[in-house]
Structure 1
Amino acid sequence: MESYPPVFRCQQTTTLHPDDTSHDPIHYPDLVPVIDLQSLNHEDDANNIINKKILEEACEDWGLFRLVNHGVPPTLLKQLQELARELFTLPFESKKAAYSGAAPVTYFWGTALVTQSGTAVTRDPQNINWVEGFSVPLNHLSSFHPQLPTLESIKLLLMDYETHLSRIATTLFEAMAKNLDLNLETSKSYLSVDTGMVRVYRYPHGSVGWGMEVHTDSSILSILNQDDQVSGLEVLKDDRWLIVKPISNTLIVNLGDMMQAISNDRYKSVSHRVKVSKNNDRISICYFVFPGEDVVIESSKYKPFTYNEFSAQVQQDKKALGYKVGLARFSQKQDC
C-alpha cells in the first residue's frame, strides 16, 4: 500500500456520482469497429476501400475504433506495460519527490488532469478520481534524465514507441482527411507530431469508484495501449455505456475535440470514462497528439481558434466552474 498516494490508502470505497448511476455499462459482445492499418497503407488494395468505409462509420458513429496490424511490436507493448507496473509499485514518496511539478515529466494523482503549471489537481477526497500517472512530453525525451531507474528504462522504450505512434497518427489522420475531402496540404498542419505526449496511468483497485469521470479528450487523436488483463474503459454509444474489452496486441483509438472541430462536427469527440477494478490495479498508456499551438482551426460550426486558445479556455473553465466546457465555448451559436 505504500506505493499508493495516501488519499487512496485510507479510502477503500468511493461514491458514484448520481448522474453516473443511471447508465450502467452493457456487456455486449465486442462491437467496437476494427480498422486494419496495414490495409489503409495500400491504396490499390481492395481491403483499403472496405477499411476506409469502416473508418468513416467509426468516426461518425462511435468516435472510437480498435486498431489491428498497426506495426507496433507486441514485445514493445508488453514491455511498456510491465515496466509501467513496476514503476507504480515504487513508494509514493519516491515518485512524488522525483517528479511532482518537475518539468518536463510530471507525476500526478487524484485526477486525470494536469494543470498548465504541471501540478496535480486534487479535490474533495470523497470525489477524487482513482488514478495516478506520469505525463511525458515526447519531444523532450532525448534530453530528459530520469531520477528513477525504472523510468530510465521506460524512456528508452518510449523513444521507440514514439516513432511508431507518430507514424500511426499521421496515417490515420491522412485517411480521415481524405474521407472528409479536406485539402491535404492545408490539413497537414492540423496534426503536429511534435505535440505528441504520453500519459502512463495506474488505476488502484477499490470497491466502487471511477478512475476517470466522464470526459472527452482535447486531442486530435488519442491512442491507447490498455491493460490486456483488466478492463475498465467504457464508451458512450447511443446513450448507452459499452465496455471496451481489452484484447492483446490491439490499440484503441478515440477522437478528441480537435478532430470534431476539424471535421465540422461530422466526426465525434467520444465521451468515455474508466471504472476501477474491485480486485486488480489497471495500467494504461495513452498517446495524445494535437495541432500545432498556433495553427488556426476553421470550420462553419466554430469560431476560428488555436489549440492554445482552446487549452487556455479549458483551464479557465476548470478553475472557475470546476469542469471543462470544451468546444461549446467556440460554437458559432454559443449558448454557455
Structure 2
Amino acid sequence: MSISASYPPAFRRMINDGDPKDIEPVLDKDKDIHIPVIDLERLNKEILREACKEWGIFRLENHGVPLELTSQLQEISESLLSLPFEEKRELFAAVNSPLSYFWGTPALNRSGDALKRGGTQASNVNMLEGFNVPLSKLPASTCCDDGAQHSKLESFRVLIEEYGKHITRIAVSLFEAIAQTLNLDLSGDRRSELLSESTGIIRVYRYPRSSSVDAAGEALGMEVHTDSSVISILKEDETGGLEIMKGEEWFRVKPVANTLIINLGDMMQAISDDEYKSVKHRVKKKDMTRERHSVGYFVFPERDCVIKSSNYKPFTYSEFEAQVQVDVQALGTKVGLPRFHPKSPLFL
C-alpha cells in the first residue's frame, strides 16, 4: 500500500509519495520560544500564576504518566491511522463504539463529526486527521468483534482509557491549583461544575508529510484558533510544529521528551475575568518529510453550568458551544468569547 492510500482523498494531491528528499524545504521564519515550566511534584503557585497570566500556556514535567503507556498509545495510534482511508472510515462507522474518525478540520460537533463550514473558509482543508474519544463513554464500549482490526481498536480503547485516567487526574490537580491563584470558591459542587471530568475528550491527531505549503510558504497543518475548553493537555511527538501567538508575533514551541503542554482555553479566560488568557495557537509543520502525531485532551464545564464574569454576559457552556457551531457553519470560523462580551462589535 502506498503511503498516500492511508490519507483522505482530498489530501492525496498534496502528498509526495516518493522519496522524502524530493520535498522542498520550508523557509523557517518563526522564532523558537521557551515557555514556562511547571513541576507537578513541586508545584509553585507563583510560577503557575505568572504562566497563566502572561502566557496562557506552559510545559508540565514530573506529571506521572508512565512513559511505557504513552509509547504504546503512540504505536497503536500510528498503526490504526496508517490503515487505508476507506478501511478507517468503515471501521469506525461499523463498530459499536463512541469513537469516531474525522479529517480535514478540527471543528467537530458533540458526536465527533466534522462541522460543515460556511463563508470563505468552506473549502479550506486542514492537513490533519484523527480519532475523537469521549472518555465517559468508553467503559460501556464494546468494540472487540472478530477481526484483527477490531482487536487492534479494542487495544487502542484500553490504552486510551488508562491514559485518560492519568490525564484527568492532572487536569483536576492543575485546575484546583489555578483556582487557588484566582481565589475562586470551589466549595460544594462548584469545582465539578466548572471542570466536569465527564466532559473530557481525547483526540488523537496525525498530520501527513506533505509537499504542499500555504500562501505564506508554510507547511499546512491546523488553523489558528483558541480552545473552547477550561484546560487542554497536549502530548506530542518529536516532530514539532506547535506555534503560539505572544504579543503580535508567532513563536515555535519545540517539543521536549516526556513532558506535556498545558494551555488554557476560553472557559478559563471567562472564569478568570480575563486575568488569564486563552492562548491563540496553530500547527505548522516545518519538517514536511515526516508525519506528526499528537494526543490532545480537552475538558469543559458541565453543559448547564452558568459562567458568570464581569466582562461577559452570563452564559452556559451549552450556549457557548452552540454559538461556536453556528459561527463555524455560517462564517467558516469560530468567534468565541467576543460573542458574549458587551463591548465587542461581535456581541450578540
Q: 1:295 aligns with which of 301, 305, 327?
A: 305
What code does the residue aligned with 2:136 have?
N
- What is the distance in 2 between the residues matched to 1:96 and 1:220? 30
- Tell me the equivalent position of 2:101: 107
TM-score by length of 1: 0.89
What code does the residue aligned with 1:37 have?
L
Q: 2:206 aligns with which of 189, 202, 227?
A: 202
| Paired residue secondary structure (2:86) | helix
Matches within 5 A, 1:220-259: 220-227=230-237, 229-259=238-268
2:75 pairs with 1:65: no
- Tell me the equivalent position of 2:35: 32
1:238–1:294 distance in 2 versus 1, CA, 3 Å:
same
8 A Cα contact 2:243 2:250, kept in partner? yes
Matches within 5 A, 1:302-313: 302-313=312-323
- Superposition deviation, residue 197 in structure 1: 0.6
8 A Cα contact 2:115 2:325, kept in partner? no
2:255 pairs with 1:271: no
What code does the residue aligned with 1:179 have?
T
| Paired residue secondary structure (1:230) | coil
- Superposition deviation, residue 206 in structure 1: 1.0
8 A Cα contact 2:244 2:281, kept in partner? yes
Q: 2:270 aligns with which of 261, 270, 284?
A: 261
- Superposition deviation, residue 115 in structure 1: 2.6
- What is the distance in 2 between the residues matched to 1:331 and 1:122? 26
1:296–1:154 distance in 2 versus 1, CA, 3 Å:
same
What code does the residue aligned with 1:224 have?
L
Q: Deviations over 1:133-168 (max 9, x none)?
A: 110000011111236332211111111112111111
- Superposition deviation, residue 11 in structure 1: 2.4
Percent identity reads: 53
- What is the distance in 2 between the residues matched to 1:38 and 1:213? 34
- What is the distance in 1 between the residues matched to 2:257 and 2:115? 32
8 A Cα contact 2:194 2:305, kept in partner? yes
2:128 pairs with 1:131: yes
1:266–1:250 distance in 2 versus 1, CA, 3 Å:
same
- Superposition deviation, residue 219 in structure 1: 0.3
8 A Cα contact 1:178 1:184, kept in partner? no
1:101–1:37 distance in 2 versus 1, CA, 3 Å:
farther
- Superposition deviation, residue 332 in structure 1: 2.9
Matches within 5 A, 1:110-189: 110-121=104-115, 127-146=124-143, 148-185=150-187, 187-188=190-191, 189=193
8 A Cα contact 1:221 1:253, kept in partner? yes
8 A Cα contact 2:116 2:329, kept in partner? no
Q: 1:190 aligns with which of 190, 194, 197?
A: 194
Which stretches in structure 2 are left out of the alignment for 5+ residues? 17-27, 214-218
- Superposition deviation, residue 34 in structure 1: 0.4
- What is the distance in 2 between the residues matched to 1:315 and 1:214? 16
When the two structures are aligned, how many residues end up with a matched partner?
315
Higher mean displacement: 304-313 or 161-170: 161-170
8 A Cα contact 1:196 1:289, kept in partner? yes
| Paired residue secondary structure (1:2) | helix
- What is the distance in 2 between the residues matched to 1:27 and 1:69? 23
- Superposition deviation, residue 184 in structure 1: 2.1
1:287–1:117 distance in 2 versus 1, CA, 3 Å:
closer
Which stretches in structure 1 are left out of the alignment for 5+ residues? 14-22, 41-50
RMSD, aligned CA: 2.1
- Superposition deviation, residue 126 in structure 1: 6.6
Q: 1:78 aligns with which of 43, 68, 71?
A: 71
TM-score by length of 2: 0.86
What code does the residue aligned with 1:165 have?
I
- What is the distance in 2 between the residues matched to 1:67 and 1:217? 18
- Tell me the equivalent position of 1:11: 14
What code does the residue aligned with 2:134 have?
P
- What is the distance in 2 between the residues matched to 1:151 and 1:325? 35
8 A Cα contact 1:101 1:117, kept in partner? no
- What is the distance in 2 between the residues matched to 1:151 and 1:175? 36
What code does the residue aligned with 1:130 have?
M
- Tell me the equivalent position of 2:343: 333
8 A Cα contact 1:100 1:108, kept in partner? no
